[in-house]
């Protein structure tokens, strides 16, 4: 039986992770810390079992019933190894460190915010302190005066304000300290060491952080936050403390450089305006004409709607632009992807009986370079909706189908036409590739330094009833599917977005479309949109 439920929370949580990181990074308790008493610990135990044990386990060992499907794995509290602290390398965290993490969550992971001022299902300040007191009982180190974290708090000196001179000094330090070996020359987490790194918790694979993703910094994205990481290191990972290798001034310069790499503003406008140009549309993703087109950032989330469900996507944001002339329309998609994956091996695809399919563990998937292709799909309704009813944003539905333009890196690499035009009527049915005479789209993809840029273009109007037709002044729904091959993604294991819109820019003032825009805004969070859970 298929049940429809609202997906608003699903995408609002993703949006919160992307947009609230900077605000959350400053979380501090508003009131006085309550006393650590047996009663407080007991209340914390009850809260922990009800709210935390599903991931972290009843024994605090990071092995709860849903832990197998998450990466990174939930923290093992019994080891006393905590990543985000104000204390020296290898030291325990202070209570205030734990409070910050529990309050703001960890962007890009399953660790949500528990601040009741931010979400209705959160915890009050007192409840957060209580659960902290209980969590500390899992490690005896917290009872040993020799390991008192308050004696190991690192010094934070006066900040060196960012300037071009400071950034240049930081860039030089980045090179000299060989930060690029893990994080890559451009900071995108694709350095030569990145495929073989492992954590110290279970020996799980761990990828260096993509420093350009300002919305994903787990310990905060400000200069001070990053400087603090250089002082403390990140316990349990290959990221060391630099207190012995860089002086204080150098750590500030390096922090300023890292901040300069960040994309900090996320343009989550739901409407993409396609710009009219009089000449030929560019097929090259690097053509300078693309810089004249407005862009929006499309938020992506793991496909958890239909079996097999995937909680560990790597692509969380795609920037998209559109241009059109009197004959064609073209889209440019740009997204971060550490590794160029241009081979696809069907024999290694996830093949399990439907009886056993559910949420898929990352350990069940082949997550290595050279097994699966990178790919992206633009999705439209087969016909522009006459009213507010759109096809389901995940592959449509019976009687309300979708038209997808699917670019595949392996086809591009082998010199074949890299884009296929297909139709779909539900995620449970195979997509239908249109016949050769129906293939009217063209595409080109370029990967460079951890970024894919893909252009797909097609005539505005076709005679095929299975194709979307682009009309000026119409709000045309648009959604995205993305696959990262080295993350094991293929078939339904992928990232996806909800519906956005593209409108062909005209000489008519946008104010004419005011009521339509208001309707979209009103329906956006009310519908947003429907998700099917099988």
Lowest-pLDDT range of 24-33, 224-233, 336-345: 24-33
Residue 25 has pLDDT above 70, yes or no: no
Class of domain 271-511: mainly beta
User: Does position 4 have pLDDT exceeding 90, yes or no?
Assistant: no
**What is the bridge-based pairing of β-strands 271-276 and 500-504?**
parallel
Q: pTM of the full predicted structure?
A: 0.89
**What separation, in Å, do the N-terminal and C-terminal C-alpha atoms of the chain show?**
7
Looking up tokens 């956006």, which residue turns up?
524
User: Which pLDDT score, from 0 to 100, does residue 526 have?
Assistant: 42
pLDDT of residue 428: 87
Q: What is the CATH number of domain 164-260?
A: 1.10.760.10
Q: What is the mean pLDDT of residues 300-328?
A: 96
Q: How confident is the model at residue 522 (pLDDT cuts 50, 70, 90)?
A: very low
Taking residues 400-404, report their average pLDDT: 97
Cβ–Cβ < 8 Å for 314, 267: no
83, 91 contact by CB (below 8 A):
no
Give CA–CA dist 82/199, Å, rounded. Answer: 12
Give, in order, the Cα–Cα distances in Å from 275 to each of 292, 328, 391, 405, 488. Answer: 8, 12, 26, 20, 36
Average pLDDT, the chain: 90
- pLDDT number for residue 427: 92
pLDDT surpassing 60 at residue 1: no
Please give the Cα distance from 74 to 55 (Å, whole number). 6
Say if 10-151 and 271-511 have the same CATH topology: no
The per-residue pLDDT for range 350-398, each reduced to its tens digit, is: 988 776 668 888 888 888 888 999 999 999 999 999 888 899 999 999 9
Domain positions in the chain = 10-151, 164-260, 271-511
Is the distance from CB of 149 to CB of 85 less than 8 angstroms? Answer: yes
CA atoms of 79 and 138, how far apart (whole Å): 8
| Superfamily of 10-151 according to CATH | Cytochrome c-like domain (1.10.760.10)
Two tokens, residue 316: 């969380």
């Amino acid at each position: 039986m298929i049940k429809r439920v609202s997906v608003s929370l699903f995408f609002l949580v993703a949006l919160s992770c992307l947009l609230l990181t900077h605000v959350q990074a400053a979380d501090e308790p508003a009131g006085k810390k309550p006393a650590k008493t047996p009663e407080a610990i007991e209340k914390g135990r009850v809260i922990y079992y009800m709210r935390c044990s599903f991931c972290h386990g009843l024994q605090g060992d990071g092995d709860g019933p849903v832990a197998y499907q998450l990466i990174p794995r939930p923290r093992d509290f019994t080891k006393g190894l905590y990543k985000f602290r104000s204390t020296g390398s290898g030291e325990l965290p202070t209570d205030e460190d734990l409070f910050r993490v529990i309050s703001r969550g960890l962007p890009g992971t399953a660790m949500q915010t528990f601040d009741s001022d931010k979400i209705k299902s959160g915890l009050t300040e007192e409840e957060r302190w209580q659960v902290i007191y209980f969590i500390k009982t899992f490690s005896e180190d917290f009872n040993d005066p020799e390991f008192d974290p308050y004696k190991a708090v690192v010094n934070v000196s006066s900040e060196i304000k960012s300037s071009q001179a400071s950034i240049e000094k930081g860039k030089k330090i980045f090179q000299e300290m060989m930060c690029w070996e893990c994080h890559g020359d451009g900071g995108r987490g694709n350095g030569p060491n990145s495929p073989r790194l492992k954590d110290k918790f279970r020996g799980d694979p761990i990828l260096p952080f993509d420093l350009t993703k300002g919305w994903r910094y787990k310990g905060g994205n400000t200069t001070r936050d990053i400087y603090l990481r250089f002082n403390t290191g990140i316990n349990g990972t290959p990221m060391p403390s630099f207190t012995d290798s860089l002086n204080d001034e150098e750590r500030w310069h390096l922090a300023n450089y890292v901040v300069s790499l960040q994309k900090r503003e996320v343009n989550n406008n739901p409407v993409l305006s396609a710009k009219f140009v009089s000449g030929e549309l560019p097929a090259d993703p690097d053509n300078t004409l693309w810089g004249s087109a407005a862009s929006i950032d499309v938020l992506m989330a793991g496909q958890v709607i239909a079996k097999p469900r995937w909680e560990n996507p790597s692509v969380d944001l795609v920037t998209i632009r559109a241009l059109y002339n009197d004959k064609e329309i073209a889209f440019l998609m740009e997204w971060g992807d550490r590794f160029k994956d241009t081979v696809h091996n069907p024999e290694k695809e996830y093949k399990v009986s439907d009886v056993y399919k559910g949420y898929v563990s990352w350990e069940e998937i082949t997550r290595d370079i050279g097994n699966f292709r990178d790919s992206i799909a633009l999705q439209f309704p087969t016909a522009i909706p006459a009213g507010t009813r759109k096809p389901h944003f995940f592959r449509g539905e019976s009687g309300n189908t979708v038209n997808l333009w699917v670019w595949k890196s392996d086809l591009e690499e082998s010199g074949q036409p890299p884009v296929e035009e297909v139709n779909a009527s539900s995620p449970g049915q195979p997509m239908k590739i249109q016949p050769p005479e129906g293939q009217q789209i063209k595409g080109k993809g370029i990967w460079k330094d951890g970024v894919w840029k893909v252009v797909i273009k097609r005539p505005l109007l076709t005679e095929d009833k299975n194709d979307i037709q682009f009309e000026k002044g119409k709000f045309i729904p648009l959604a995205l599917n993305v696959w990262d091959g080295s993350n094991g993604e293929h078939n339904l294991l992928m990232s996806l977005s909800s519906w956005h819109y593209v409108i062909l820019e005209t000489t008519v003032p946008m104010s004419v479309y005011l009521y339509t825009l208001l309707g979209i805004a009103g329906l956006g969070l009310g519908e947003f949109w429907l998700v099917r859970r099988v």
